[in-house]
C-alpha cells in the first residue's frame, strides 16, 4: 500500500498461548520467531533457540538469553535448530513455544522426549479467507481425524492436537 492510505483491521482473533506459570523455552525458525518478543514479555522466559538460513534472516529478541544457529554458519554455529536440542533439560520447562516451518516444527517435536511434549504449544500459520471459522481455508489436520481452524481454534495449538504426518504432507 502507498503511504498515507488507510486500512481496516479486525482483531485479535482466535486463541493465543496459554501462559503456564514456570520457566519457558522458546524455539523459533526464521520468521516463526516474530511473535516471541511479545510472548517473552508475558512469561518467565529462560531461553530462546533461534534457527535461520543466514544471519540476515535472524530476528533479534532483546532482553532474553538466546542461542542462534544458521544453515550457512554466518551467525552462531552452522546447522539446524534441532542440533541445539541435545543439552536441553526438558523437565525444567513448564512451557515450550514452537513456531516455524512445518517440517522444522515436526523435526523439533520428534526430538523432544515424549514426556515433555504435552508442554509444547505451536503457533500455526495459514492463509485466511474469513477469520471467523466459516470458509475452512485455514484448516490444520487434527490428531485423530478432521481439521482444526487456524483462525478460530488457533493459531496456537497444543502440539499433540496436530496430525503432523498429514500436515507435513500438504506442505
The residue assigned the cell 514452537 is 98
CB of 167 to ligand FES, least distance (A): 15
Least gap, CB of 160 to ligand FES (angstroms): 21
Could you list the residues that contact ligand FES (CB under 6 A)? 128-131, 133-138, 149-151
If the CB atoms of residues 37 and 137 are measured against ligand FES, the closer one turns out to be 137
Q: Which of 12, 51, 32 is nearest to 152 (CA)?
A: 12
Residue 13 grid coordinates:
482473533
Please answer whether residues 46 and 23 qualify as being in contact, where contact means their C-beta atoms are separated by less than 8 angstroms. yes
Closer CB to ligand FES, 89 or 134, in the complex: 134
Q: Nearest distance from residue 38's CB to ligand FES, in Å?
A: 22
CB 51 within 8 A of CB 68: yes
**Closer CB to ligand FES, 7 or 127, in the complex:** 127
Q: 102 by DSSP, 3-state: which? A: helix
Residue 120 CB, nearest approach to ligand FES (Å): 23
Q: Does a cis peptide bond (omega within 30 degrees of 0) precede residue 155?
A: yes
How far apart are the C-alpha atoms of 43 and 99, rounded to whole Å?
A: 16
Nearer to ligand FES, 79 or 129 (CB): 129
Q: Among residues 110 and 136, whose Cβ is nearest to ligand FES? A: 136
What is the C-alpha separation between 74 and 77, in angstroms, rounded? 8
CA 131 to centroid of chain Cα atoms: 19
Amino acid at each position: 500500500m502507498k503511504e498515507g492510505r488507510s486500512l481496516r483491521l479486525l482483531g485479535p482473533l482466535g486463541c493465543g498461548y496459554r501462559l503456564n506459570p514456570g520457566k519457558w523455552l522458546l524455539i523459533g525458525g526464521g520468521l516463526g520467531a516474530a511473535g516471541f518478543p511479545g510472548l517473552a514479555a508475558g512469561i518467565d522466559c529462560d531461553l530462546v533457540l533461534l534457527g535461520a538460513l543466514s544471519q540476515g534472516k535472524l530476528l533479534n529478541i532483546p532482553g532474553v538469553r538466546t542461542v542462534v544457529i544458521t544453515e550457512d554458519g554466518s551467525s552462531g554455529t552452522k546447522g539446524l535448530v534441532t542440533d541445539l536440542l541435545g543439552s536441553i533439560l526438558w523437565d525444567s520447562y513448564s512451557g515450550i513455544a514452537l513456531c516455524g516451518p512445518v517440517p522444522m516444527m515436526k523435526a523439533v517435536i520428534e526430538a523432544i522426549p515424549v514426556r515433555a511434549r504435552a508442554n509444547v504449544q505451536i503457533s500455526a500459520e495459514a492463509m485466511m479467507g474469513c477469520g471467523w471459522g466459516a470458509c475452512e481455508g485455514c484448516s490444520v489436520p487434527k490428531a485423530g481425524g478432521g481439521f482444526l481452524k487456524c483462525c478460530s481454534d488457533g493459531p496456537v495449538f497444543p502440539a499433540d492436537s496436530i496430525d503432523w504426518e498429514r500436515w507435513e504432507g500438504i506442505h
